[in-house]
Structure 1
Amino acid sequence: MSWEKNSKSEGEIWHVISTEFKRLGWLHIMIWVGYSLVFFYGPNLIFDTETAILMTLRTLAVNALIFYINVLVLLPLLVGRSKFKAYAVAILILLGSVSLLWEVTDPVGQQDWEKLRRSQPEVLHFRQGENPGGEQLSPRPPQPGRPGPEVDEKPPKPPWDLFGRHTMFSIFSSLGILFLSTMFWLMVDARRKENERLSLTNENLSTEMKFLKSQMNPHFLFNALNNIYSLAQRQSNKTALLVLKLSSMLRFIVYETDNGKIPLQNEVDYIRNFVEFQKIKLEEEPRLEINLEDVRPGVKIEPMLLFPFVENAFKHSNIDDTVNGWIQMKLEYDGQTIRFSCANSKPPRDISKDKVGGIGIDNVKKRLSYLYRDCHHIEIKDEADRFEVLLEINLS
């Protein structure tokens, strides 16, 4: 089971990294080309053009090898699995291999590096035997007691010192590339984890939504059928109309809430039908102020974002009390932002008529934070005698 989990995680890491390379491939190419041009400038001042090109290509190949081995192999397979000791050993092996690779692929050669080291600063320009002033280099005249010409020789250094200098240069260069590649991988891995978190949140919200719908449907259907039955016994003319409304509401719950965004008008119609069924149970006309007229065709939102606040208001407002109980709701749309407010009275003692079902404000807040993360604002005012929700959703 652990192996399957690791394999799945590894596959996800590779998928994210490959996606990043596909999305940013041109950027990688531009960065490496720019890096090569900058690096080429230094060797081109000292060596001939062919040697400078070979040194640049060697440096590009070795550094790219370090970068992508670290990003595609070592970090996902070792650090990604918390094998830090193995990663440290792998890095030491990689640095040793790279140092050897630097020596083996050196286009200049140890003898030329030794001559370069022992030369005077003014003759460090090796391009076709010319110095920076353009004059032909010539040996210095012989000094008394020493045969032959001399090129300002310095005491030769032992071979291990020269090798150590090259090794140190390659190690520092490799460490810089390792640091950059590690930062790149950490950024990609953080993005992968964030995507996983959002995906998990969405799955949890979807599961909660389905569970709450399975709770709500039988409960609401039970109440609605009882209300219709009582009207049918009184031979009310509203019976047939309410059967149609109930059919519309069930169609909305069963089918439309699973299809992503829906027309705002559909949710408003559901709210109106819900209010009509609530009014049937009341003997007197309740104190309701409903303004849901500002709905334009074509405006779409995620389903069940407004209705839970209406449902909550009827649960806790004690609307049966036509003297002290009241509910107000208003919907506005200015072309970019939906503004919905729902307020209700609060009796001295908390009243919740329906103990089963309902979607719940907390669930809606979770869905809003996922579906409209940076595009919504919700404010809840819970006072002694009043409860109000103000919701804004930016659709632009």
Structure 2
Amino acid sequence: MVRNHTNAKDALKVIGRQFKRMGWWHITLWIGYSFLFFYGPALFFDTKTAVFLTLRTLGINALIFYVNTLILLPLLIGRNHFKTYVLSLVFLLAGISFLWHITDPVGPETWEKINERREMVRPESPPENGPEGKTLRLDRGPAPPPGRPRPDNNFPGPHLFFGFVQMLGILFLSTLFWMVLESRRKEKEQLSLTNQNLETEMKFLKSQMNPHFLFNALNNIYSLSQQGSAKTPKLVLKLSSMLRFIVYETDEKKIPIGREIDYIRDFIEFQKIKLEEKPNLAIDFNLVDRDIRIEPMLIFPFFENAFKHGNIGDTKNGWIKAFLKAKDGQIMFSIANSKPAGYVSKDKSKGIGIENVKKRLSFLYKGSYRLNIIDKQDVFKVQMEIETL
């Protein structure tokens, strides 16, 4: 019950915000509706009475619309209380019908006279004074022959029937309007949930990568320090920069692409330390506008995958080729790595980073990206294009 109550309150808040954003649309539509409705009463009554009837109808219909949209539907249908909703509609319509009756400025005698003379209205017809000084514009059609009974047109009164049909129409429109708003609200909730899941998965990937990478990097730095290598201070600075990127910058929504490139370069430097010979790498970052902003960790997982599951340690047969271009809001990236013959990875986490990138691309750049992954027996290749504008 607490959860349902919370959901209903949240739904009301969301719908309320949507109403505020659409306020001018509501005002415009109701004014347009009033002008259309005004034409009917203006044919039969003086301007003052026609305006009053129009405002009365507008107020009652708006009351039905917003009570149904803002109260009944969110609190009852939104919480699956269908029987209570139907009962509430009965009371609402009964109350509105009573309000419609007591606010009628014309009176039953005048409506009866209108019903008797419902023929084509001719503008030249002379005005006729109705009850209580109200002016009627009624055509003086021929009276029925003596002795012939008048047809019973007052069941229960066309104006009352027309008013009830209006109420049902407004109920239908308000329900349709609420369904559209509710559908958009649920879609936003789903997108928000998807985003939260992706962020959780990102944190999981970071927690997996940090200890493993940090352990290897520190071991390599320790080995170099034992050997008195001049690379040691430089590698310590690179490691510090990488950890800063992982801990702080990956939590930002967008970062300059240059920062991720720096992280990738530092990562490659640490990978080289483990190799006795110079690896066969062909990596081109020259055509990059470093200020283009992009979500972090969209490119790095492909490099990590290439080094982790390729055979770069085989300096004769292993290789990695990568190209990145980032200009004018467009990012073009490709990377390919060799695979050892008969290689089968036993790493259960293989592909998690790439799957995360797929989901994030679909969420962040829907319709504005292309990702093509080719996995053959001896080569693994990725091609990616992103429109960031």
Q: What's the TM-score, normalizing by structure 1?
A: 0.88
The residue identity in structure 2 corresponding to 1:37 is: F
The answer for the alignment partner of 1:149 in structure 2 is none
* Correspondence for 2:152: 157
Equivalent residue for 2:128? 129
Q: Which residue of 1 aligns with 2:79?
A: 81
User: Helix, strand or coil: the match of 2:287?
Assistant: coil
Match for 1:25: what amino acid? G
Residues 317 and 351, structure 1, Cα contact 8 Å, conserved in 2: no
Counterpart of 2:9 in structure 1 is 11
Confirm whether residue 218 of structure 1 aligns to residue 211 of structure 2.
yes
Aligned residue for 2:336, secondary structure, equals strand
State the partner residue of 1:63.
Answer: 61
1:89 Cα deviation after fit = 2.0
What residue in structure 1 maps to residue 358 of structure 2? Answer: 365
Letter in 2 for 1:52: A
My pick for the range that moved more, 351-360 or 44-53, is 351-360
User: What amino acid does structure 1 have at the position aligned with 2:48?
Assistant: E
Q: Give CA deviations for 1:53-105 in whole Å, capped at 9, x if unaligned.
A: 11111110111011001101110011101111222222222223323332222
Q: 1:231 to 1:108 in 2, by over 3 A?
A: same
Q: Distance in 2 between matches of 1:357 and 1:223?
A: 18
Q: Hey, what does 1:97 align to over in structure 2? A: 95
Does 2:300 match 1:300? Answer: no
1:54–1:136: structure 2 CA closer, same or farther, 3 Å change rule? closer
CA distance in 1, matches of 2:379, 2:121: 89
C-alpha deviation, 1:285, in angstroms: 1.6
Secondary structure at the counterpart of residue 14 of structure 1:
helix
Aligned pairs for 1:334-353 within 5 A: 334-352=327-345
**Is contact 1:309–1:361 with CA below 8 Å preserved after alignment?**
yes
- The 1:54/1:309 distance shift into structure 2, 3 A limit, reads same
**Mean Cα deviation higher: 369-378 or 213-222:** 369-378
Q: Which residue of 1 aligns with 2:133?
A: none
* Counterpart contact for 1:308–1:359, Cα < 8 Å: no
> What secondary structure sits across from 1:360 in the alignment?
helix
Q: Name the amino acid aligned to 1:93.
A: F
Q: Could you say which residue in structure 2 is the equivalent of 1:150?
A: none
Is the 8 Å Cα contact of residues 98 and 170 (structure 1) preserved in structure 2?
A: no
Q: Which residue of 1 aligns with 2:25?
A: 27
SS in 2 for 1:162: coil
Contact 1:287/1:326 (CA < 8 Å) preserved in 2? yes
Residue type at the aligned position of 2:383? L
- Secondary structure of the corresponding residue to residue 40 of structure 1: helix
The alpha-carbon deviation at position 156 of structure 1 amounts to 6.0
SS of residue in 2 equivalent to 1:320: coil
Encode CA deviations 1:212-234: one digit per residue, 9 max, x unaligned: 21221111010011111222232
> How do residues 142-181 of structure 1 correspond to structure 2 at under 5 angstroms?
155=150, 157=152, 161-163=154-156, 165-181=158-174
Q: Which amino acid in structure 1 is aligned with residue 223 of structure 2?
A: S
Could you say if the C-alpha distance between residues 105 and 170 of structure 1 is closer, same or farther in structure 2, counting changes exceeding 3 Å?
same
CA contact (8 A) 1:215 1:358 kept: no
> Structure 1 residues 172, 138: CA separation in 2 closer, same or farther (over 3 Å shift)?
closer
Which runs of 5 or more residues in structure 1 are unaligned? 147-152
**Cα distance in 2, alignment partners of residues 190 and 95 from structure 1:** 26
Answer yes or no: is 1:276 the counterpart of 2:274. no
Contact 1:212-1:357 at 8 Å conserved across structures: no
Pairs within 5 Å for 1:163-312 = 163=156, 165-312=158-305
Report the alpha carbon displacement of residue 277 of structure 1 after superposing the two structures with TM.
0.9
SS of 2:323's partner is strand
2: CA distance between counterparts of 1:241 and 1:289?
Answer: 23
Unaligned runs of 5+ residues in structure 2 are: 130-136
Q: Which letter does structure 1 place at the counterpart of 2:90?
A: L
Shift of 1:359: 5.8
Q: Report the CA distance shift for 1:140/1:220 in structure 2 as closer, same or farther (over 3 A).
A: closer
Q: Is the CA contact (8 Å cut-off) linking 1:347 and 1:385 kept in structure 2?
A: yes
C-alpha change, 1:166 and 1:343, in structure 2 (3 Å) is same
Task: Provide, for residues 177-207 of structure 1, a one-character-per-residue CA deviation record: whole Å limited to 9, x for no partner.
Answer: 1111111111111111111111111222222
Structure 1 match to 2:383? 390
Distance 1:251 1:353 in 2: 30
Aligned-pair identity in percent equals 56
Q: Provide the rounded CA distance (Å) in 2 between the counterparts of 1:316 and 1:395.
A: 30
Q: How many residues align?
A: 381
